[in-house]
Structure 1
Amino acid sequence: MSSNRSTTDPHHGTLRSLRFWLAPFAVVAAVMSALAYFYLGALLDPSENLRQFPMAIVNQDVGDVLPGSDERQNFGDQITEGILDGIDPEEIDLQRMGISAANQGLDDGSLYGAIVIPSDFTKRISILAQASVVPGDIEKPIITLYTNPRTGAFATGIVTTVGDRALSQVNDTVGQQLTETVTATLAESAPDLQLSGASSLVLAQPIDALTVEHKPLPDGTGAGLSAFFYTLLLILAGFTGATIINAVVDSALGFVPTEYGPLYIARETTRMSRLQVLALKWGITVVMSLIVSALYLWISTALGMPAPRALLLWEYGALAISAVGITSLAVMSIFGAAGLLVNLIVFIVLGLPSSGGTIPIEATPRMFEWLSTFEPMHQIYLAVRSILYFDGRPDAGLGHGVTMTIVGLVFGLVVGALVTWIYDRVGFHRAADAPVRLPWRPSRQHDRDSAVAADTVRSDDSVGAGEDAGEDDRDDRGESSGSSEHSGDSDGPANEMGDPAARRG
Structure 2
Amino acid sequence: MLMEPNPTSPRRAVRNPRVWLFPAIVVTVLMTLLAGFYLDSIADPQGSLHDFPVALVNQDEGETVPGPQGEQRQNFGDQITSAIVANVDPNMFDLRQVGIAEAQQEMQDGKVYGAIIIPSDFSKRLLILAESSVVPGQVEKPAITAQSNPRAGTFASAVMDRFADQALTQVNSTVGQQLTQTVQQQLAGPPPTPIAGASALTLAEPVNVINIEYNPLPGGTGNGLAAFYYSLLIVLAGFTGGMIVHTMIDQALGFAPTEYGPWYRHLESIGISRFNTLLLKWSVMAALAVVVSGVFVGIADLVGMPIERGLALYLYGALAILAVGVSALSVLALFGTAGLLINLIIFVVLGLPSSGGTVPLEAQPEIFTFLARFEPMHQVYLGVRAILFFDAGTSAGLGRSVVATLIGLAIGLIIGVVTTRLYDRAGLHRGPAPKEPARG
Q: TM-score, normalised by structure 2?
A: 0.95
Q: Which amino acid aligns with 1:412?
A: G
Once the two structures are TM-superposed, the CA of residue 177 in structure 1 deviates from its matched residue by 0.6
Structure 1, gaps ≥5 residues long? 436-449, 461-505
Paired with 2:125 and 2:431, the residues of 1 have a C-alpha distance of 84
User: The residue matched to 1:13 in structure 2 has which SS?
Assistant: helix
Moved more, 190-199 or 43-52: 190-199
Paired with 1:331 and 1:228, the residues of 2 have a C-alpha distance of 25
Q: Which amino acid aligns with 2:318?
A: A
Question: Contact 1:67 / 1:126 at 8 angstroms: preserved in 2?
Answer: no
Question: Contact 1:132 / 1:138 at 8 angstroms: preserved in 2?
Answer: no
Paired with 2:141 and 2:101, the residues of 1 have a C-alpha distance of 25
> How many residues of Structure 1 are paired with residues of Structure 2 in the alignment?
435
Once the two structures are TM-superposed, the CA of residue 6 in structure 1 deviates from its matched residue by 8.4
Paired with 1:8 and 1:89, the residues of 2 have a C-alpha distance of 69
Higher helix share: 1
Which residue of structure 2 lines up, in the alignment, with residue 87 of structure 1?
88
Which residue of structure 2 lines up, in the alignment, with residue 48 of structure 1?
47
**What's the C-alpha RMSD, in Å, of the aligned pairs?**
1.8
Paired with 2:75 and 2:257, the residues of 1 have a C-alpha distance of 80
Identity %: 51
What does the per-residue CA deviation read over 1:248-305, in whole Å, with 9 as the maximum and x for residues that have no partner? 1011111111111122111111110011111100000000011110000000111010
Paired with 2:18 and 2:112, the residues of 1 have a C-alpha distance of 53
1:219-234, aligned counterparts within 5 Å?
219-234=219-234
Paired with 2:97 and 2:269, the residues of 1 have a C-alpha distance of 68
User: The residue matched to 1:223 in structure 2 has which SS?
Assistant: helix
Which residue of structure 2 lines up, in the alignment, with residue 111 of structure 1?
112
User: The residue matched to 1:49 in structure 2 has which SS?
Assistant: coil
User: The residue matched to 1:95 in structure 2 has which SS?
Assistant: strand
Once the two structures are TM-superposed, the CA of residue 139 in structure 1 deviates from its matched residue by 0.2
Paired with 1:217 and 1:37, the residues of 2 have a C-alpha distance of 33
What does the per-residue CA deviation read over 1:395-435, in whole Å, with 9 as the maximum and x for residues that have no partner? 110000000000000101110111111111112111126x7
Paired with 1:388 and 1:21, the residues of 2 have a C-alpha distance of 47
Which residue of structure 1 lines up, in the alignment, with residue 248 of structure 2?
248
Change (3 A) 1:66 1:342: same
User: The residue matched to 1:111 in structure 2 has which SS?
Assistant: coil
Once the two structures are TM-superposed, the CA of residue 19 in structure 1 deviates from its matched residue by 4.2
What does the per-residue CA deviation read over 1:357-390, in whole Å, with 9 as the maximum and x for residues that have no partner? 1111111111111111100001111111110011
Which residue of structure 2 lines up, in the alignment, with residue 76 of structure 1?
77
User: The residue matched to 1:94 in structure 2 has which SS?
Assistant: strand
Once the two structures are TM-superposed, the CA of residue 194 in structure 1 deviates from its matched residue by 2.1
Which residue of structure 1 lines up, in the alignment, with residue 132 of structure 2?
131
What does the per-residue CA deviation read over 1:23-59, in whole Å, with 9 as the maximum and x for residues that have no partner? 1211111000100000011111112211111111111
Question: Contact 1:383 / 1:401 at 8 angstroms: preserved in 2?
Answer: yes
Which residue of structure 2 lines up, in the alignment, with residue 273 of structure 1?
273
Moved more, 240-249 or 134-143: 134-143
Question: Contact 1:254 / 1:267 at 8 angstroms: preserved in 2?
Answer: yes
Once the two structures are TM-superposed, the CA of residue 111 in structure 1 deviates from its matched residue by 1.0
Which residue of structure 1 lines up, in the alignment, with residue 201 of structure 2?
201
Paired with 1:316 and 1:147, the residues of 2 have a C-alpha distance of 28
Paired with 2:364 and 2:7, the residues of 1 have a C-alpha distance of 56
1:22-33, aligned counterparts within 5 Å?
22-33=21-32
Paired with 1:70 and 1:154, the residues of 2 have a C-alpha distance of 47
Q: Which amino acid aligns with 2:55?
A: A
Paired with 1:261 and 1:18, the residues of 2 have a C-alpha distance of 27
Higher relative contact order (CA 8 A, sep 6+): 2
Residue 259 (1) aligns with residue 262 (2)? no
Which residue of structure 2 lines up, in the alignment, with residue 323 of structure 1?
323
User: The residue matched to 1:106 in structure 2 has which SS?
Assistant: helix
What does the per-residue CA deviation read over 1:144-169, in whole Å, with 9 as the maximum and x for residues that have no partner? 01111111111101111111111001
User: The residue matched to 2:125 in structure 1 has which SS?
Assistant: helix
Change (3 A) 1:297 1:132: same
Residue 355 (1) aligns with residue 340 (2)? no
Once the two structures are TM-superposed, the CA of residue 192 in structure 1 deviates from its matched residue by 5.0
Paired with 1:24 and 1:279, the residues of 2 have a C-alpha distance of 31
What does the per-residue CA deviation read over 1:106-125, in whole Å, with 9 as the maximum and x for residues that have no partner? 01011111110000000000
Question: Contact 1:239 / 1:325 at 8 angstroms: preserved in 2?
Answer: yes
Paired with 1:419 and 1:14, the residues of 2 have a C-alpha distance of 34
Which residue of structure 1 lines up, in the alignment, with residue 181 of structure 2?
180
Which is greater in Rg? 1
User: The residue matched to 2:259 in structure 1 has which SS?
Assistant: strand
Once the two structures are TM-superposed, the CA of residue 215 in structure 1 deviates from its matched residue by 0.7
Once the two structures are TM-superposed, the CA of residue 11 in structure 1 deviates from its matched residue by 7.8
Which residue of structure 1 lines up, in the alignment, with residue 215 of structure 2?
215
Structure 2, gaps ≥5 residues long? none
Once the two structures are TM-superposed, the CA of residue 205 in structure 1 deviates from its matched residue by 0.2
Paired with 2:146 and 2:61, the residues of 1 have a C-alpha distance of 19
Change (3 A) 1:336 1:290: same
Which residue of structure 2 lines up, in the alignment, with residue 100 of structure 1?
101
User: The residue matched to 1:164 in structure 2 has which SS?
Assistant: helix
Question: Contact 2:293 / 2:317 at 8 angstroms: preserved in 1?
Answer: yes
Moved more, 378-387 or 131-140: 131-140
Once the two structures are TM-superposed, the CA of residue 135 in structure 1 deviates from its matched residue by 2.4
User: The residue matched to 1:311 in structure 2 has which SS?
Assistant: helix
Once the two structures are TM-superposed, the CA of residue 195 in structure 1 deviates from its matched residue by 1.5
Which residue of structure 1 lines up, in the alignment, with residue 60 of structure 2?
61
Residue 313 (1) aligns with residue 301 (2)? no
1:450-489, aligned counterparts within 5 Å?
none
What does the per-residue CA deviation read over 1:295-322, in whole Å, with 9 as the maximum and x for residues that have no partner? 0000011101011100000000000000
Question: Contact 1:274 / 1:429 at 8 angstroms: preserved in 2?
Answer: yes
Q: TM-score, normalised by structure 1?
A: 0.83
Once the two structures are TM-superposed, the CA of residue 16 in structure 1 deviates from its matched residue by 1.5
Question: Contact 2:327 / 2:409 at 8 angstroms: preserved in 1?
Answer: yes
Moved more, 399-408 or 190-199: 190-199
Which residue of structure 1 lines up, in the alignment, with residue 37 of structure 2?
38
User: The residue matched to 1:140 in structure 2 has which SS?
Assistant: coil
Once the two structures are TM-superposed, the CA of residue 138 in structure 1 deviates from its matched residue by 2.5
Change (3 A) 1:7 1:185: closer
Which residue of structure 2 lines up, in the alignment, with residue 156 of structure 1?
157
Question: Contact 1:106 / 1:112 at 8 angstroms: preserved in 2?
Answer: yes
Once the two structures are TM-superposed, the CA of residue 21 in structure 1 deviates from its matched residue by 2.5
Question: Contact 2:66 / 2:72 at 8 angstroms: preserved in 1?
Answer: no
